Structure 1
């Protein structure tokens, strides 16, 4: 499994009040994968909002994303993407990203 993070768009006035991020998960294996977990570390005090395409749980600066119910299996060569918003004045990019405990690419 492999994941990549990208800043998809700025939000608010001139992008100063937050952004929307996108993570793409890819199954590079030869067979289907049963689930995945993506963990993002955010700068202190920032919160994730408006998640689409995954379930999210935040504890402090760590946000954990998992597949939506009924969408755990990812076919060989398949991809799935999810988006999230980080509101706030001068919201910062994630400081870390990992999928199933391995760094994102």
Structure 2
């Protein structure tokens, strides 16, 4: 028999959000196992997803660069002890870079500020695990990469 707690995540309409339901089972007895199914979990914050990992690290790699554009890969590492269920990475380009195509995520860019969120197949970042997304971008000249990143609003090392 199984005991413990199961966390069921249900993304909000925007694709990220707090866990919605908690299922809890007590220790088994000779007559069976008693479970509480579907206990709602409230969130005091509208911030993306669950609690961010205690440590995160982002690696931004410019794979190719030319006079009017670039190709980059961004790897997000969860160095914490808890999984990240749903994620949003935020950063600001230091120049006039603009994302023209992104894969393994969805993005929103307003000026230099960028938010990249997970897609269905990479929404979970396990402890000591990572995920990545890639992008093509345009710029008027060779520009340096971003140096400051957050994962679900928690600062990451770069």
How many angstroms does 1:28 deviate by?
A: 1.2
* Higher RCO (CA-CA < 8 Å; seq separation 6+): 1
Runs ≥4 in structure 1, deviation > 6 angstroms? none
Change (3 A) 1:46 1:30: closer
CA distance in 2, matches of 1:63, 1:19: 16
Q: TM-score, normalised by structure 1?
A: 0.79
Q: Equivalent of 1:7, from 39, 62, 66?
A: 62
Q: Equivalent of 2:78, from 3, 27, 32?
A: 27
Structure 2 runs not aligned, ≥5 long = 1-55
CA distance in 2, matches of 1:27, 1:52: 20
Q: TM-score, normalised by structure 2?
A: 0.56
Are 1:97 and 2:148 counterparts?
yes
Structure 1 runs not aligned, ≥5 long = none
Q: Equivalent of 1:50, from 101, 121, 137?
A: 101
What is the aligned partner in structure 2 of residue 76 from structure 1?
Answer: 127
What is the total number of aligned residue pairs between the two structures? 101
